[in-house]
A and B are shown apart, each in its own frame.
Chain A
Amino acid sequence: MKKKHLHGLAGAALGYLLFPAIVFAQIVNPFKGVENLTGQNGLLEKLISIALQIGIPIMVLMIMWIGFQYVWEASKGKAANLATIHKNFQFTLLGAALLLGAYVILEILQNTFRSLQSR
């Protein structure tokens, strides 16, 4: 019971502290300026850019973590663990390529269909 009160108090204090920021900050619509679905400034490009904003830091952290694991397990001399880490590294690189290559994939698909279309 007492802990609950404490949580409420902390939340209220945090809310009070954040209040000016909320009032003065412009809440920006992330999809502002989106005109169409696939073209320039399209919804798809916006979604990809948002995914990249979230994904790139995670990607970097994961690669760093894998590098750390490599060093750690190599220092202990466990070959089995190294194989697992190697697999993790491969799949992480594949995922990173898919994330970073999203624009490229988009361009490839669109240009393939356009070239088929023009005959």
Chain B
Amino acid sequence: MKMSLRSCAALFLSALFLLGPSLALALEPNAPLSGAPVNLQAPCGNRAGGTGETRECTVADFINFVGSIVQFLIFQISIPLAVLAFVVLGFRLVVSQNKPTVYAETKKYLMDLVLGIFLVVSAYAIVSFIYSFVAEPYRIFFR
């Protein structure tokens, strides 16, 4: 089936619409509407041998989990690697005197590095932009 731009956009928007509530509630785990009060600070899930207070896991917990993975990947992996790559490339440029091939190679690496950082930043920015767009109305009107 050929996917036109319009049908892609419609699918994307409907997916966003469906994702809305779960995204809106991602900041803190959603409490049940009735029944006994739940301690939202408690860790979720059944801990084997755990003695502390726990509660049921929700979709919001899953989204928070994915968010923590993304944060780990960005702050602990990609930023240190990018900075180390900058240092190594600078070192190469300083050390390799009078070698035009090395200069060209290093320039290419630098461009790739900047492109990679730009991709990571833009992915993060797009997701957080859409998140704020979709989550804020829900947070205002449906809570």
Which residues on A are within 8 Å of B, measured CB to CB?
37-38, 43-44, 47-48, 51, 55, 58-59, 62, 65-66, 84, 87-88, 91-92, 94-99, 101-102, 105-106, 109-110, 112-113, 116-117, 119
List CB contacts (< 8 Å) of B82-132 with chain A: 82-84, 86-87, 89-95, 97-98, 100, 103, 106, 117, 121, 124-125, 128, 131-132
Q: Are A116's CB and B124's CB within 8 A?
A: yes
Q: Say yes or no for B44: interface residue by CB 8 A criterion.
A: no
Q: Are A119's CB and B132's CB within 8 A?
A: yes
B90: nearest chain-A partner, CB-CB: A98
B100: nearest chain-A partner, CB-CB: A87
Which of A102, A106, A109, A116 gathers most chain B CB within 10 Å?
Answer: A109
Which of these, A43, A55, A113, A119, contacts B91 with CB under 8 Å? A55
Which residues on B are within 8 Å of A, measured CB to CB?
71, 74-76, 79-80, 82-84, 86-87, 89-95, 97-98, 100, 103, 106, 117, 121, 124-125, 128, 131-132
Q: Distance in Å from the Cβ of B131 to the closest Cβ of chain A?
A: 8
Q: Are B93's CB and A94's CB within 8 A?
A: yes
Interface of A is mostly: helix
Instruction: Give the tally of cross-chain contacts (CB within 8 A).
Output: 91
Q: Are B90's CB and A113's CB within 8 A?
A: no
Q: Are B97's CB and A99's CB within 8 A?
A: no
Q: Are B87's CB and A88's CB within 8 A?
A: no
A102: chain B residues within 8 A (beta carbon): 83, 86-87, 90
A35 CA to B75 CA, complexed, in Å: 16
A110: nearest chain-B partner, CB-CB: B79
A114: nearest chain-B partner, CB-CB: B75
A119 CA to B84 CA, complexed, in Å: 28
